[in-house]
Amino acid sequence: MRTIDWDDTKNCIIFVDQTKLPLARHIIECADVNTLAEAIGTLSIRGAPALGVAGAFGIALAAQTSKAKSPIDLVQELEGAAEVLRNTRPTAINLSWGIDRVLRKAKTGHSITQVKELALEEAKAIADDDVEICKKIGANGAKLLEDGDVVLTHCNAGRMACVDWGTALGVVRSAIEENKRIKVIATETRPLNQGSRITAWELLQDNIPVTLITDSMAGHVIKSGMVDKILVGADRIVEEAVFNKIGTYTLSVIAKEHKIPFYVAAPMSTFDFEKHAQDIEIEERGPQELKYFGDMQIAPLDAKAYNPAFDATPMDNVTAIITEKGVFYPPLSFEELKGLE
């Protein structure tokens, strides 16, 4: 099953609950927008491309379940749903991108039936495109990996962060398909452990060799010569920086110090051609994520805690950005890239 999909029989969204991995592969059937918003907020569904598809299906879901009596009222309801979904997580641009693409299409409908059909068709197209795009990212990125490479990755930019295949891990999968022997080192990615819970799990599902390290081991491991390349995903790319999971910036600094290539793999929908680095909101999550590990308390409850979920890696630290349209080497010309969208 895809990470997120539309169930035509039940007329609802279905997705893997990523908070339960790796202990259980629990599937959620989601039939209303507020439940979807909550699932995005708790990271049941997560990863920039998957969030784009979740936003798209969310608008389609709002359309299918609406009781509006006119196309104008229906579109107004969809705009309300868009606001609810948009407010869940601010950093990954793909969420708004998916929402807006479906909204734009739905607004071209002239009847209630047409608005509903157009919304669902567009959301399904976005989900299908995501798989194709990841395959192209994989093919473009695989050229940068050599037989025998050890790749360090952070967080989860694999099939669980997308509809299938993955961005950074898609590159690894495509290289392996080309018979290159690639090994992965996965950082555990505190505080929510997307690296240990999700990346390690999904790579093992495909028999891809993976070694787990804690985030704080990365400097030592890279300095020891155990890593050939770093490969991460992205939540938003602006002209000056790549926004990705907290800890990515630190890895980029270590990579630069030790002259290790630092690659970012992402679809064109992750580029933000409007804003600059200082305008981007970095999601700050609750202190409980640092004070509890599951149900277990791991810090004094009255300790102050700061929990930014993302950081910004300056373009100077990025060797190349791998997209479905090709591999781009900073300094990037955003004018040219915008033309490729």
Question: Tokens standing for 79?
Answer: 């705009």
Choice between 119 and 231, CB closer to ligand MRU:
231
Active-site residue flag, 235: yes
Alpha-carbon distance of 206 to 237, in angstroms, equals 29
> Of these residues, 5, 235, 272, 311, which one is catalytic?
235
Q: Which residues bind ligand MRU (CB under 6 A)?
A: 43, 46-49, 92, 155, 157, 161-162, 167, 194, 233-235, 244-245, 309
Alpha-carbon distance of 196 to 72, in angstroms, equals 47
Burial of 237 (0-12, 13-18, 19+ CB in 10 A): buried
- Residue 68 Cβ vs ligand MRU, minimum distance, rounded to whole Å: 32
Alpha-carbon distance of 44 to 197, in angstroms, equals 13
Residues facing 244 on adjacent strands: 311
Choice between 66 and 88, CB closer to ligand MRU:
88
Question: Tokens standing for 208?
Answer: 């891809």
Contact 247, 253 (CB under 8 A): no
Strand 236-237 relative to strand 241-245: parallel, antiparallel, unpaired? antiparallel
Choice between 63 and 264, CB closer to ligand MRU:
264
- Residue 13 Cβ vs ligand MRU, minimum distance, rounded to whole Å: 17
Choice between 202 and 239, CB closer to ligand MRU:
202
Choice between 119 and 185, CB closer to ligand MRU:
185
Alpha-carbon distance of 176 to 180, in angstroms, equals 5
- Residue 20 Cβ vs ligand MRU, minimum distance, rounded to whole Å: 14
Question: Which residue, judged by CB position, is nearest to ligand MRU in the bound state?
Answer: 233
Contact 150, 226 (CB under 8 A): yes
Residue 197: how many other CB atoms lie within 10 Å: 20
Residues facing 152 on adjacent strands: 185, 230
Q: What is the set of active-site residues? A: 235
